[in-house]
Amino acid sequence: MRAMMGMSAIGDAAGMRVLDAQLRSADGVAVLRHVMNICGLLFLWQVFFRCCPPWLLNGWSVSLVAVSLASLLLDRPRKRAGSEDLSAADLWRHAVGALLHGSVWAVCMALISHSGDTEQLVALWTLISCVMVCGAISYAAVPLSAIAFLLPCIAGLFAMFHAGGELPLRALSSSYALSLLGGCLIYAHTFGRQHSATAQLVEKTEVVSLLLREYEAGGSDWLWQTDAMRQLTGVSARLAEMLGRTPAQLEGASLVQLLAGSGWESGRFAAGLRSLAEHLKQRESFSNLVLPVEVQGQWRWWELSASPRHDEQGVFQGFRGVGSDVTAQRESADKIAQLARFDPLTGLPNRSHLREALDHALEAAHGRSPGCAYLMIDLDRFKAVNDTLGHQIGDKLLSQVARRLLTVCTGDDFCGRIGGDEFAVVMPRISDGVAVPRLASAIITALSAPYQVDQHILHVGASVGSALSPADGQEAEALIRSADLALYRAKGEGGGLHCAYEPQLHAQAEERRQLELALREALEKDQLHILYQPVVDAGEERIVGFEALVRWTHPEMGPISPVRFIPVAEEARLIGPIGEWVLRTACREAANWPDAVRIAVNVSAEQLAHPSFVAAVVSALAQSGLESSRLELEVTESVFMTDDAGALRVLDQLLALGIQLSLDDFGTGYSSLGYLSRTRFNTIKIDRSFVVGASRNTAESLAIIRAVVTLADSLGMATTAEGVETQAELDMVRRLGCQKVQGYYFGRPMPAGDAARLFPTTVQRAIG
């Protein structure tokens, strides 16, 4: 009220709106006041023309007209300036006009009332009552002006009823005027509250509208609403832009038909659109409803949320909601799902997706025998491609393998990549007893054909292991395990073939596992020991060296053949620690032998590939005191198949230390004259299989031994024939030119003490 009466500053936009509403309300009914003034002026001239002096009526009439003009002049600057420049001063100027207006009528009551009789006085009171009512009405919204108008009128009433006998009339008229003043103040208070609330609501509405406009302009979301007939109304510019149309074109369009696009005619609606239509039909709220929308021939993904709207009587008016284009998020989610279920390199289903397919196949095949099949595929010789040509070529090769696998696996067959060079196929149904072998054979044939990768022609094979449900496993894990065991067997038999699971494979796998655990324990508890087999000069039949052979005697299982535990040690990555132990033990034992006797130790490919192998050899020689020329390291040709350059580099370092090198089992593996020309081996060992064949006069074996001896002689290398067990075999290898022999004819592998007794007595005594 203080602000409405101009007694305090207006500090906010809501106060300015209330002030503007006050003055506009007063201006709106000002014509009533002016009409009342004209009527009052005419009434006074009609009633008091005969009894009132003309100069008084003329003077008062001029004053009334002047006051009216002054009031208009006071309001004129405010009306010209507009509502933006309003202030409390405008209220005071308006009140001045009201004060002048009230004062003129107060003068009328004080002067003219004494010129007539009682009847004329009653007529004047009636006129004054009408004037005060019209003034109160015209100034009601501006309490300061109402007070400025009515207070002079009250004073005029006291002057009009001045006689002593007119005291009741004075009290009545004053009460009447005060009631009008009180009504004006009450009205002004109510007016101020209503317009203040309206002003605040308008301000909030403007803020909300501004925020919504900014929201639509700067974001990917938009507002939408429909009427009770599900037709769009009040279409926003953002929504029209998303649909590639104008708001006018969309106004009144059916929302469902618009979102359906070309599917409206065919009746093929997406599940999301059907859900939207159902929500609209049931008039229920929904949120985060995602559905595909056809926009100008392209499919987009929209997310819609909305609530029904009702009027004050609860009548349904339609829906109002928000929408957003979530195509990017949907594509990103689809891509993540793709990465989670598909191999990024080949595009095939990955391990987890294969597992899901296998679970579904097992569930569908429940109670059926045979049910489904699981095939595991491993590429042969793929590691050599990666090691020699690099992983980029290997990745391209895997992509071609995946394409070939897709062409082979047709129908319900589900193929995928497990990882590395391993793939798998799920066969949900087995049509006949040869379906699995037939598919496995087709896979091996397809994957074994040559590959053209960049400028390289590559040859890799494939091995396949398969398992059937429910015989080989009723659960996915069991079936996968069975197929893996079958694949392990196929790889163990040389690769390039298919092996079906057999029950004994589990027993063999468990035996290997138990053997690995026992071998680890044997290494920790020093259960391994070394036997030494003599190497004899073929001509003089004297011992020139020994080969160190590791043996294992388990406390419960007894002696275990190297044929059994060496492959397990290689798989379990134990061959390195075992090999280093053998090297140190053999060097320490050989240091007690005559200076002319060497010790030969077998070295695996894993040992050669280890970066600390050369340092381990140097350490073993230093700790034992054995001369490097008395140590001979035996390697097989397989060490060159994984890392040609690395193996040659390590062998060159060993030769530089004065260590002797021997190429074991030459001719049984990947024989390559390139290795002999690039590495200075001291000895080539001829495998026992050729010795046995030559003793039986097999032409091929005789030719191989002659060729190896000739090759070794030309390269300055010695030859050792392995597995000589009879005098006839000894005579034969002598004739063929072998310089050294090794076999049971001269001695079986023996403990270190027995080996020492083969030397002269003086040497034995020195050994102790």
Could you report the per-residue pLDDT of 496-513, keeping only the tens digit for each? 999 999 888 777 777 788
Instruction: Among 470, 502, 534, give the residue marking a domain's end.
Output: 502
For the cut 90, the answer to whether the pLDDT of residue 296 exceeds it is no
- Whether residue 459 lies inside any domain: the answer is yes
Query: Is residue 524 assigned to a domain?
Result: yes
Are 577 and 649 in a shared domain? yes
Are residues 105 and 244 both part of a single domain? no
Most confident of the ranges 208-212, 503-507, 631-635, 641-645: 631-635
pLDDT, one tens digit per residue, over 515-530 is: 888 888 888 888 899 9
pLDDT above 90 coverage of the chain, percent: 24
What integer pLDDT is reported at residue 3 of this predicted model?
63
Q: Mean pLDDT over residues 194-210, rounded?
A: 62
Residues 316 and 353 in one domain: no
Tell me if 4 is assigned to some domain.
no
Beta bridge partners of 767: none
Residue 547 near residue 532, CB atoms below 8 Å: yes
pLDDT exceeds cutoff 50 at 763: no
Kindly state whether residues 255 and 353 are assigned to the same domain.
Answer: no
pLDDT reported for residue 51: 74
CB under 8 Å to 19, separation ≥6 — which residues? 3, 4, 10, 86, 90, 91
Buried b (16+ CB within 10 A) or exposed e, 195-226: bbeebeeeeeeeeeeeeeeeebeeeebbbbbb
Quick one: pLDDT at residue 467? 93
Separation CA 676–CA 666 (nearest Å): 11
Q: Is residue 224 located within the same domain as residue 87?
A: no
Count of the separate structural domains present in the chain: 4
Q: How does residue 767 score in pLDDT terms, banded at 50, 70 and 90?
A: very low
- Residues paired with 376 in a beta bridge: 424, 465
Claim to verify: residue 197 and residue 80 sit in the same structural domain? yes
The CATH number covering residue 226 comes to: 3.30.450.20
Q: Return the structure tokens found at 71.
A: 């009031």
Residue 629 lies in a domain: yes
pLDDT band per the 50, 70, 90 thresholds, residue 768: very low
pLDDT of 596 over the 60 cut: yes
Q: How confident is the model at residue 368 (pLDDT cuts 50, 70, 90)?
A: confident
Question: Tell me, what's the pLDDT at 11?
Answer: 57
Classify residue 758: in a domain, yes or no.
Answer: yes
- Whether 207 is covered by a domain: the verdict is no
Q: How confident is the model at residue 764 (pLDDT cuts 50, 70, 90)?
A: very low
Domain with residue 580: its CATH number is: 3.20.20.450
Asked if 261 and 373 sit in the same domain, the reply is: no
Residue 291 lies in domain:
219-333
In a domain, residue 214? The reply is no
Q: Give the CATH number, domain containing residue 423.
A: 3.30.70.270
The pLDDT value given to residue 758:
85
Domain boundary among 284, 315, 333: 333
The confidence band for 691, taking pLDDT boundaries of 50, 70 and 90, is confident
Q: Over the stretch 13-49, which tens digit does the pLDDT of each residue have?
A: 666 777 777 777 777 777 777 788 888 878 778 777 7
* Cβ proximity of 253 and 232 under 8 Å: yes
Q: What is the mean pLDDT of the chain?
A: 82
Domain check: are 685 and 763 in the same one? yes
Poorest-confidence range of 29-33, 101-105, 724-728? Answer: 29-33
Residues 559 and 664 in one domain: yes
Statement to judge: residues 382 and 491 lie in one domain: yes
Report the pLDDT averaged over residues 331-345.
80
Residue 361 and residue 312 share a domain: no
- The mean per-residue pLDDT over the stretch 99-112 comes to 79
Query: Which pLDDT tens digit goes with each residue over 375-422?
Result: 999 999 898 888 788 889 999 999 999 999 999 998 889 999 999 999
Q: How far apart are CA 449 and CA 458, in angstroms?
A: 9
Boundary of a domain, candidates 502, 536, 564: 502
Q: Percentage of residues in the chain with pLDDT exceeding 70? A: 87
Residue 121 lies in a domain: yes
If asked whether residues 399 and 304 sit together in one domain, one would say no
Which residues on neighbouring strands pair with residue 415, listed in sequence order? 425
Tokens of 305: 């949320």
